[in-house]
Amino acid sequence: MTTTPEPHPAPGAGTGGGGRRHTVPGWLAAIAVVLVAVNLRPGASSVGPVLEEVRSGLAMSGATAGVLTALPGFAFGAVGAVAVLLSRRVGMTAGILLGVLAISLGLLLRAGTTSTPLFLLLSLLALAGMAIGNVLVPAWIKRHSRDGGVRLMTVYGTVLILGGALGSATAAPVSQVAGGWWAALGMWGVVAALALLPWAFLATGERRAARGGRPTMLRPNARMRHSPTAVALTVLFGTQAMNAYVQFGWLPQIYRDAGLSAVYAGGLMALLTSLGVVGGLVMPTVIDRAATLAPHLVAMGTLMVAGYLGLLLWPTTLPWLWAVLLGLGGFSFPTAIALITARTRDPQVTAQLSGFVQPVGYVLAAAGPLAVGMMHAATGGWTAVLVLLMLSGIALVLAGLRVARPVLVDDELSPR
């Protein structure tokens, strides 16, 4: 059954001001979404498998490495919070274009530095561009889709996860072949540059369609905290994001400390994240048709707990099994992303919900990698860390049960 029927577009939708509606061909929208989605994760996920080499090459302390692994969450939270405001000044499409430009420049330039502070600063620039894309792309998809965003969100969520998996899988091999970690991290700046052309073309077309008026603008964040669904979705998103970025930053090191090689650890991380591709393919359709998502979200939390328990007790006995369990539990990521469009009707509300859920969720998530680094430094092991992560699976289930019901945020915010 379809839980979020899409109404007719509001007047001016697609232009945000007067002028004719800016229609984007389906093939061009798909290409643009693929090229931006593939670049929103590798800048973060490629660091973990070569973190030891980065630390050695930059003489980076353990505390600074903890900051580096926490930086994606903090950047996605802080910059994502102002992404809607940026779009109000330059337009939704131009805002995404600026984000892609920041990703490309940040990743290319940080690969050539030997300064730890500059490396962190350029990482922040690239992550800021990713944060802008995180918030604005779902709203752009909602505005330019005829089916409420189901198909394009399927493409977006799948490629988003695939990009993260590729970042993990290629980091160690490319580093070894090229003779340094700089190549493994810098090549993603080149990939990001490929997305500049279609988004520049789209931004130009949107400006022309406005006929001198303002391009597609988003209203500032409304009363999202008054929506129980929005709040629960924020907790769900924050919990899964915390786990994702702990895994990006520290899971390869957990495997390496257990005795596995860097290449094997990176491959296991890639296996984990690539399973999310399946989730990205199926979850938008499941959300669109299911009367309730409760059984799915309970299963995700349970699998997450089981995966961390296996890592705690038998890390090298069946390392691939724990990666598989965590990867299946990671279906919560494409679920949370798809719910941003599935639990809204109006593209403006989609943007407001995205601008509320993702920044707040990432701020909650940012504490995870930092806490993991501090706990590991204090205890010298991974037991306390893995127990904490198991408890987070329970929080994911509790929040998931609230967003499982097909309730629209638009209706919760509407005057009674």
pLDDT at 22: 56
Residues in the chain where the model's pLDDT stays below 70? 1-22, 209-222, 415-416
And the tokens for 335? 């679920």
Dist CA 305 CA 324 (whole Å): 12
Taking domain 26-218+225-411, whether its CATH number is 1.20.1250.20 is answered by yes
How high is the pLDDT of residue 8? 38
C-alpha count within 13 angstroms, C-beta hemisphere, residue 300: 31
pLDDT of residue 344: 84
Ranges of each domain in the chain = 26-218+225-411
| 14 in Cβ contact with 355 (< 8 Å) | no
Q: How many Å apart are CA 197 and CA 181, to the nearest integer?
A: 28
SS (H, E, C) the chain: CCCCCCCCCCCCCCCCCCCCCCCCCHHHHHHHHHHHHCCCCHHHHCCHHHHHHHHHHHCCCHHHHHHHHHHHHHHHHHHHCCHHHHHHHHCHHHHHHHHHHHHHHHHHHHCCCCCHHHHHHHHHHHHHHHHHHHHHHHHHHHHCCCCCCHHHHHHHHHHHHHHHHHHHHHHHHHHHHHCCHHHHHHHHHHHHHCCHHHHHHHHHHHHHHCCCCCCCCCCCCCCHHHCHHHHHHHHHHHHHHHHHHHHHHHHHHHHHHCCCCHHHHHHHHHHHHHHHHHHHHHHHHHHHHCCCCHHHHHHHHHHHHHHHHHHHHCCCCCHHHHHHHHHHHCCHHHHHHHHHHHCCCCHHHHHHHHHHHHHHHHHHHHHHHHHHHHHHHHHCCCHHHHHHHHHHHHHHHHHHHHHCCCCCHHHHHCCC
